[in-house]
Structure 1
Amino acid sequence: MKTDLETAERDTPAQATLYADNIGGIDEAKVSFEQGVTVLSGRNATNRTSLLQAIMAALGSDQVSLKADASEGEAELELGDDLYRRSLERRNGTIVTDGEPYLEDPELADLFAFLLESNEARRAVRRGDDLRELIMRPVDTEAIKAEIERCEQRKRQIDEELEELDELEGRLPDLEAKRTRLNDELEELREELEAAQEELDETNVDVEERREEQSELETKLEELRETRSEIERVRERIETERESIDALEEEREEVESELESLSTGDETDRSKLEAEIDTLQAEKADLSEEISQLQSTIQFNEQLLSGQESILPEGSSDDGGDGDGDVTDQLLADDETVTCWTCGSSVARDQIETTIEQLRTARQERLEERSELNTELDERRETLSTINENRTEYRQTQRRLDSIDDEMERREERVDDLIDEREELTDEIDDLEAEIDDLETEDYGDVLDQHKEVNQLEFELERKQRELENIEEQIDDIEDRLDEREGLEARRDDVTDELTDLRTRIDQIEADAVEAFNEHMENLLEVLGYGNLDRIWIDRTSREVREGRRKVTRSSFDLKIVRSTDDGAAYEDTIDHLSESEREVTGLVFALAGYLVHEVYETVPFMLLDSLEAIDSERIAKVIEYFQSYVPYLTVALLDEDAQAVDVDHEVVSEIGSPTTP
């Protein structure tokens, strides 16, 4: 994993430049970053968080805000020779984005790289939420399951082909034995025919006197031989057609059975399902709109709490501009209250914090409701899809059954025609034999018998030759098919390997996430030295949960904490009893684990850190030192006193808000 990071660092340009306009509390700013650590140093309300939001906006995140008195803004990030731009516009109370940001999908970065105070990974640890759900959210488990089903289908098809080859291979010994027997019989027939022809040639008959009779007899014998050959071919065709009819009857029984097992579903049920889906989609859209409004309200209150420029009336900036700075002075003078820019009244900071927490709780409840709606929608869609698929399969199966009936009818008519033809040929043979008998004379009887024998032997030889050719053709076909075995076995091995990878992929990601968190948590706790805090780790267990109407087994990430008393006795604790500093560090490490497991450094070169005030300066410096070895660009917003404790080589940005920012 570290080697991949080093490759990402080599491929990432050494310098980046950001331009921001009307983002958060920023009027206008231009900042350059060197690869490594950049510290945004300053007091509260100096647009450090706004600059991080501007970076997020250019990279593709939607978790950004416009300046309160602005209707539009933009962020540009120049990275090497590439320029990424994002515009923001306020429309009907919501922010609409446009442009070409660095990321097409910001989900991974929002979860594990943009670690502001509102970051979901940090908050999940603080609240004791389901960590497994969050770490696995970027993984499209449904797509993996669908791919598993496709691979299983491919493997079944290959297995069926290999079984068919095994059956064909089992037929080879009998066919080869039959070929040997036919060759022996053919050799005997050739010898008998040769002897019969020699005997006929040696027969002492006055050929000249009986030339006319002999010619007519030979003609009739040739006709008899050809007719017998023809009737043999007709018999073979009748047998082939009847075998085909038998196979069609078996197939018809299978199709009828399949048809009986299919249900097309009641039309009323389909209409009801479609109506329910429409209703659920409308409810989901309403919830999404409410969630968006709640998020905007939360961001606004967070800005109000931090005293950003975007919430202050025009002319009251924190950068020493033309305003008299009275409001800013009031904010800095009294950390316990915040002046509302809409009405000018002072509001208690803890009241705003309570409101923010209530809004977050409400938003989380709406998110859970939306998740439940998604589950219901998926169930309804799956049921409707099953009904539609069954209806389609039913129609296809019915057409297949009709096609089989038509084919059987055609073949039965063909058999009837062939039977009539066979009867006609039989009558012809009787007539020819009768004519040949009439041509026999007492003196010529032996010759006629010899002619009949030669004729019969030639007919039998021709029939055996055709049978041998058919057997050899079957053997050649089987041997050609058996040549496919090696390729099929190789394909089955590939599909089996792919199936193994797919089936273990989810487990592997979970295991890697737990391993990464536990390793980095252990390392950081050793570095940070939290008194009686011995260990924090994730224990990966399994539990049974309900998915729609089914119960399935799913992994669970249980956060375990062990402390020790003054006399050295260890005891288990809970996340609720961790100090604020310990909770923040745990949340950051969890985010780092997701960052590494999902290889976010290959997707986005930045990691952003903010709201670290709960951690003391010395430990903040150690956290930054630890994180910087895993991130190409690590940008951290710190108070001045915390920034002074950072020991690693780093750039410092202390003034934000003007185009001349270094």
Structure 2
Amino acid sequence: MTWNIEIENIAGILDGKTTIEPGLNAVRGSNWQGKSSFIEAIKTALGTSTELTENKDSGRVKLQTPDRDITVTLARENGTVRRSGTPYLENEYDVIRTELFACLDERNEVRSAVRQGENLEEVLMRPLDFQNIDEQIADLKREREQIQSELSQAREAKKRLPGVQEQVTQLEKEIEELREKRDEITASDSEEGTNEDEDASPQQRLSDVQTELNQAENQIDRLERTIERTEDRLQQRRSELESLEIPEDDDIEGKLATARDKLQQIERDSEVLQSVYSANEMVLKENRLDLLTEVERELTEDNVVCWTCGNEAQREEMEERLDQLGDKITDLRAQKEQYHDRVQELEARREEIDQAERRKRDLESEITELEDTLADRRQSLDEAEERYRDAQEEVEELSDAVDETVEAISDVESKIKYREAELNDVRDELSQLETRAEQVETLEAESEEIRSEIEELRNRKDRIKHRAREAFDEAMDEILSRFGTGFETARLTADFDLVVARDGREASLDALSEGELELIGFVAALAGYESFDVDEAVPLLLVDGLGGLADDNLHTLVEYLHERTEYLVFTAYPEYTAFEGREIDPSNWAVATNRQAITD
């Protein structure tokens, strides 16, 4: 249940952190140690304050509760302080009632109003301005009108239920009678059929033949559509076959073999010449002719004995012959590329011819299959048409025999279907009426509840005023029983004027001590705390600025406030005696050295 809080550049605290425990939390310290600034930091986390340290551009409060983690950041922009992050209190109504009745520091408006002797109605009733009571009443009225409309329909449905139920019963009876009549006609026809034909009555045979006629008709329709699709496909394949062109062969295989042989011959010649060229070039380039032959070196040029033929030759002649050999190698490479391209061209042409021939064979095969399929389906169509003609002739023959029976049965069947459709409609209507009728009590309860809510909202202000005065009186009685005040009692008038009695007479507030005014201020704030159920919004009370109370009175007030909240955080000077609870030591906090930035 511990609350952890970290503070940075809030009011007079530059850096600090501590914990708040359930029960009493006394912030004990001397002036300018950050007591009041700590209260402001908590208010910042709650969302009721934005007091950034003077000369600082940003500040931050992190509050960790058992339920959630909260981070509120303050930043100074264009001379104003802007808040970012989601504080503990998000609803404007919760913020205002907490600020007025739970944040009881020296700047609290209720305490200030009491010190100034002002009328308390405006400040104690201010949260009502944020509840939008008129809008809530208007919304509830619209909701009530909708419910009243539905309630009227439900009551009307409840009235109509007996008549519709009777209509359902009557229709069920008529349908049952019609079915019995249909069965009688069918049974009579079956007896006639048994006398004439042991297998089936004319009506049964007609029904069977009509079924066969329909089947034949459906088969004809399917076959005609299938034949049409097959003919279209056959025509497409024939057209494609006619338009298919197969490139001329022109002995492509022979040409390709010749080109490949020529390419291989050129590649071998090129490799041989390249080997000879590379070896001789290396000998000349490295000037190592003496490894292969005799070299006669002279001033003008070297004479060399050719190592292949044994004849004498000059080095320049040998280099010239080597260059000629390089040129021949270059020519062979060019021929090699030419024949390589020729081979690729011939291979591509051969593949094109092969693909065209395969496509031709596929088309011819598919055309043959389609022609066979088309012939089969045309034969099936002829057979189906013959079946259709036979069945049609038989239907005509049987129709005359069963016309009267069919007409009678058809008439009864038609009436049955009409009554059944009417029965379904009436049953649906009955179901809807039953559903609506069942809602009468619920809608009446909802209407009454909304009426009560509207009445409650209309009387809310008067009720809260009455509750606030009662809470003030109750709190004042408890305060007077615990404190030895110099006045006998204090109360709020119907207009929320504060009246104090001393020695049986009304006394002026100016005659009260600072401590007595502070006690009355706390009583007034607690009256608002109880009237607006502030404990539902925030489970703590913040108290600061109690320097006007003596030690024993401060202890008494703290104990009294502790009974009304889960967490009580208050400030106290070192000279006050110890409290039975957690004491928060501000000495570890870094505070602003400029006293103008500190509220203590």
**What TM-score, normalized to structure 2?**
0.50
Aligned twin of 2:521: 587
C-alpha change, 1:177 and 1:78, in structure 2 (3 Å) is closer
Aligned equivalent of 2:434: 483
**Cα distance, 1:175 vs structure 2:** 4.6
Asked if 1:625 is matched to 2:563, the reply is no
Matched with 2:70 is 84
1:574 CA drift (Å): 7.3
**Pairwise mapping of residues 109-128 of structure 1 onto structure 2 (< 5 A)?**
109-126=98-115, 127-128=118-119
Q: Are positions 1:519 and 2:474 aligned together?
A: yes
Q: Does 1:651 align with 2:589?
A: no
Out of 45, 53, 65, the residue aligned to residue 52 of structure 2 is 65
- Which of 60, 63, 79 is 1:93 aligned to? 79
Distance, in Å, in 2 between the alignment partners of 1:459 and 1:25 is 99
Instruction: Say whether 1:492 aligns with 2:443.
Output: yes
Deviations 1:447-472 (A, max 9, x none): xxxxxxx9xx9999999978866775
Give 1:479's aligned amino acid.
Answer: L
* Counterpart secondary structure, 2:125: helix
Show the 5 A alignment for 1:44-443: 44-67=31-54, 69-79=55-65, 83-105=69-91, 106-126=95-115, 127-129=118-120, 130-169=122-161, 171-172=163-164, 175=167
How far does residue 135 in structure 1 lie from its aligned partner after superposition? Answer: 4.2
- CA shift digits 1:15-46 (9 cap, x unpaired): x3433333222333333433322223344444
Classify the secondary structure of the residue corresponding to 1:558.
coil
Alpha-carbon contact 2:500-2:506 (below 8 Å) kept: yes
Structure 1 residues 516, 498: CA separation in 2 closer, same or farther (over 3 Å shift)?
Answer: same
TM-aligned CA deviation for residue 54 of structure 1: 1.8
Amino acid at match of 1:122: R
Q: CA deviation at 1:150?
A: 3.8
Amino acid of the residue matched to residue 526 of structure 1?
S
Does the CA-based 8 Å contact 2:40-2:49 persist in structure 1? no
Are residues 1:558 and 2:492 paired?
no
8 Å Cα contact 2:106/2:545 also seen in 1: yes
Aligned partner of 2:26 among 39, 44, 57 = 39
Using structure 1 for the length normalisation, give the TM-score.
Answer: 0.46
The change in CA–CA distance for 1:591 and 1:469 in structure 2 (over 3 A counts) is same
How far 1:482 sits from its partner (Å)? Answer: 3.2
- SS of the residue aligned with 2:590? coil
> Match for 2:501: what amino acid?
R
**Distance change >3 Å, CA 576–CA 492, structure 1 → 2:** farther
| Equivalent pair of 2:97/2:534 in contact (CA under 8 Å) | yes
Specify whether residues 171 and 640 from structure 1 end up closer, same or farther in structure 2 by C-alpha distance, changes over 3 A only.
Answer: same
Select 1:531's aligned residue among 486, 495, 506.
486
Answer yes or no: is the 8 Å Cα contact 2:70–2:88 preserved in 1: yes
Listed one character per residue, the Cα deviations across residues 42-86 of structure 1 (whole Å, up to 9, x for unaligned) are 44444321121122223333342322x323333333445965333
Larger RCO (CA within 8 A; separation ≥ 6)? 2
Decide whether aligned partners of structure 1 residues 78 and 155 sit closer, same or farther in structure 2, where only a CA change above 3 A counts: closer
User: Are 2:10 and 1:23 aligned?
Assistant: yes
Which one-letter code corresponds to 1:55 in the other structure?
A: I
Give the secondary-structure state (helix, strand or coil) at the position aligned to 2:154: helix
> C-alpha distance in 2, partners of 1:575/1:160?
60
Seen in structure 2, the aligned counterparts of structure 1 residues 596 and 138 have a Cα distance that, compared at 3 Å, is farther
Contact 2:97-2:127 at 8 Å conserved across structures: no
Letter in 1 for 2:546: L
**SS of match in other structure, 1:104:** coil
Per the alignment, residue 541 of structure 2 pairs with 607
Counterpart CA distance in 2 for 1:78 and 1:464 is 78
User: Using a 3 Å threshold, how does the CA distance of structure 1 residues 617 and 76 change in structure 2: closer, same or farther?
Assistant: same
Q: What secondary structure sits across from 2:453 in the alignment?
A: helix
Q: Aligned AA for 1:484?
A: T
Distance change in 2, residues 1:620/1:475 (3 Å): same
| Change in 2 beyond 3 A, CA 1:587/1:500 | farther
Superposition deviation, residue 628 in structure 1: 1.0
Structure 1 stretch displaced more, 140-149 or 89-98: 140-149
Q: Is residue 28–residue 583 contact of structure 2 (8 Å, CA) maintained in 1?
A: no
Measured after TM superposition, the shift of residue 103 of structure 1 is 3.4
Q: Which residue of 1 aligns with 2:283?
A: none
Compute the displacement of 1:523 (Å).
1.6
Structure 2: which 5+ residue stretches go unaligned?
A: 189-404, 592-600
* Shift in CA distance, 135/579, structure 1 to aligned 2, threshold 3 Å: farther
Identity %: 24
Structure 1 residue 513, shift from structure 2 partner: 4.3
Q: Which amino acid aligns with 2:82?
A: V
Report if aligned partners of 1:88, 1:95 keep a CA contact under 8 Å in 2.
yes
2:20 match: secondary structure = strand
SS of the counterpart of 1:482? helix
Number of residue equivalences: 365
Q: Contact between 2:151 and 2:444, CA under 8 Å: does it hold in 1?
A: no
1:534-587 per-position Cα deviation (integer Å, ceiling 9, x unaligned): 242464xxxxxxxxxxxxxxxxx634635252xxx4x55676776543443233
Q: Deviations over 1:611-656 (max 9, x none)?
A: 2234444322211111112222211123344x32x65444253636
Larger Rg: 2
User: Does the C-alpha gap of structure 1 residues 573 and 488 become closer, same or farther in structure 2, counting only changes over 3 Å?
Assistant: farther
Distance 1:577 1:483, change over 3 A: farther
What's the CA shift for 1:514? 4.5
Cα distance in 1, alignment partners of residues 58 and 567 from structure 2? 28
Query: Who is 2:231 aligned against?
Result: none
Shift of 1:125: 4.3
Q: State the shift of 1:657 in Å.
A: 3.9
- 1:609 shift after superposition: 0.8
Counterpart contact for 1:37–1:650, Cα < 8 Å:
yes
Going from structure 1 to structure 2, the CA distance change for 1:653 and 1:622 (only over 3 Å counts) comes to: same
Q: Are 2:476 and 2:489, in contact at CA under 8 Å, matched by a contact in 1?
A: no
Cα gap change, 1:173/1:65 in structure 2, threshold over 3 Å: closer, same or farther? closer
Structure 1: gaps (5+ residues): 1-11, 198-453, 540-556
**What do residues 180-199 of structure 1 show as CA deviations (whole Å, max 9, x unaligned)?**
99899x89xx8xx99xx9xx
Find the aligned partners of 2:158 and 2:67 in 1 and give their Cα distance.
61
Query: Is the partner of 1:158 in helix, strand or coil?
Result: helix
